[in-house]
Structure formats: structure tokens, C-alpha cells
Structure 1
Amino acid sequence: MTSQDQPAATAPAPPSLANRYGGQKRTLSGKAKRTILILAIAAGMAFMAWISTSNATATVTFKDIGYSTPDATLTEVDFQVTKDPATAAKCSVKALDSKFAVVGWKVVDIAPNAADAGSDGGRTTAHRATVRTESPAVSGLIDSCWIPDAGK
């Protein structure tokens, strides 16, 4: 007995890409595109305004010149401050021991000065801060300087 060949089963229909991955994505409407463009332009303008005003704010820089330790409980720090002559500033001065631990710390007020004081038209002035220490210091330096708020 011989059997007749059976016809091959038909292959399943290939699934379409839309069935597999979903339909075509919708594009943004003209109104949505305009809204995004307006928001991007506004953000860019706000960023540019921030950049231009941040450059106009008063800044202060400092430079350590040296230090001395007249005795075990005292450190003198010499430094320069560069700022607008009409602006006051504050600087934090610290003294360190051999293990870099802070053994003395002080905030120094830098008053406004005349244009003929110091160098660079009164912008750069030299200062000396005396800091009391709790143990012998091996270094003295300026930690930071800033322009204090007018209301404080």
C-alpha cells in the first residue's frame, strides 16, 4: 500500500510590520511645533540674559603672598585682594598644622578703599590677617573671599 503524497500545509501569512511593531507614529501638529519653538527661543533668551547679568555682578579674587608664625599661638597671613574699590569684601583665613588640620580660623573684613590705594587703580590691595591658633601652625592661607550681601 502506498500512500499518496499529501499536499504541504500552506505557510502562515507573513505578519505585517504594523501588526508586529504597531502602527505608524503620528507627527507633531503645526501648533505643537510652534509651541516647542517658542519655548526653546524663550529658554535661550533667558539663558543669554542670565549670562550677561552674571558677568556684571561684582567678583572678588585673592592671592596668598605668605605667612609667618611669630609664636605657637599666632599665625600672620599676608594676601592680596582684587575687587571693585567701592565694594566691601570678606575673606576667611585659616591656619593649618602639619597634618593639614585647621588650628585657627578667622573672617577678615576688607573695607572699600580709594582708587589711589593699592595697585591697579585701587582694585588690588595687600592685607595682613592675624589668626590665633590652638596649637602650632605650619601654614597659613586664605580659604575664600566673597562680597557680602548688602542687607546683612
Structure 2
Amino acid sequence: MTTAEQLDDRYGRTRRRRGPWIVFLAIAVVIVAAFGWSIVTTQMNAVDADDLGYDLVDEHSVTVRFQVTGVQGKDIACAVEALDEEFGVVGWKVVEIPAGDSHSQALSASVPTVSAATTGLVNSCWVA
């Protein structure tokens, strides 16, 4: 009597090996999970800042009002800038904001300038 292995050898059929596909699938799952986790952690630490206005105090200072949203219970730092009429930076300051209980905080910062400014704004914010 002929066995299944003898028939496979006679007619050139080979058994499929599943090992490489399983390894490939496992690697793909790990890569997708790592990418997904990096997106989640990035969004958990995302900080959004909205400019609410500015007051030109004098030639050497600007007060910038802004709102920070997105992170609760973590310290935040924001780069606040004062610009002249050609949008050149004439002053800047890093404002450190202690952790708060609310999701959103309204703040103001006084920025010293080297010459007369025409506007003030928040450049960026990050989790400190």
C-alpha cells in the first residue's frame, strides 16, 4: 500500500510550511501594536494653546492672554513671543504652568521686548 508521503514525493507535491507565515504575522502584530501605542501616548500628552489677546503695555513689554487645553494633572511649559510689525521676534519668554485640576486654563504672561512690539502670541506648548 502506498502512503500519502510516497504519493506526494511521486507527484511533486510538497507540504506547506506554516512557520515563516506565523513569524511574519507575529512581527506585523507587534509593529502595529507599537505604532498604535505611540499614537495613544502622543495624544495623551498633547497640549493645545489658543491666543485670547494681547495688550501693548509700553515699548518694552507686552501682556499675552492665552488658554491652554488638553492636559490635566501635568506641568506644562509654553513659549510666548512678542512680534514687531514685520513679524520679527522682539521678545520671548518660556512660561511654566504648574499642574492643575481642570482640563483648560486661561493664563496671561508679560513678555519683555527689546523694541516696540505690535502683537503677542503663543508659539507652542508642551508637557514639561
Q: After TM superposition, is the score higher than 0.5?
A: yes
Q: Which sections of structure 1, spanning at least 5 residues, go unmatched?
A: 1-29, 115-121
State the SS of the aligned residue for 2:115: coil
Identify which of 27, 31, 45 aligns with 1:58. 45
Identify which of 95, 98, 103 aligns with 2:85. 98
Deviation for aligned residue 1:34: 4.8
Deviation for aligned residue 1:42: 1.1
Inter-partner Cα distance in structure 1 for 2:121 and 2:67:
11
The structure whose Rg is larger is: 1
Inter-partner Cα distance in structure 1 for 2:120 and 2:22:
54
Report how many residues are paired: 112
Name the Cα RMSD after superposition: 2.2
Inter-partner Cα distance in structure 1 for 2:117 and 2:25:
55
Looking at secondary structure, tell me which structure has more helix per residue: 2
1:123 aligns with 2:83: no
Identify which of 53, 56, 77 aligns with 2:64. 77
Q: Which sections of structure 2, spanning at least 5 residues, go unmatched?
A: 1-15
State the SS of the aligned residue for 2:124: strand
Distance 1:39 1:98, change over 3 A: same
Runs of 4+ residues deviating >6 angstroms: none
Inter-partner Cα distance in structure 2 for 1:84 and 1:144:
14
Inter-partner Cα distance in structure 2 for 1:62 and 1:79:
7
Distance 1:35 1:105, change over 3 A: same
Identify which of 113, 117, 121 aligns with 1:133. 113
Deviations 1:30-60, CA, capped at 9 Å, x for gaps: 66x8536623541343222331343143221
Deviation for aligned residue 1:107: 0.3
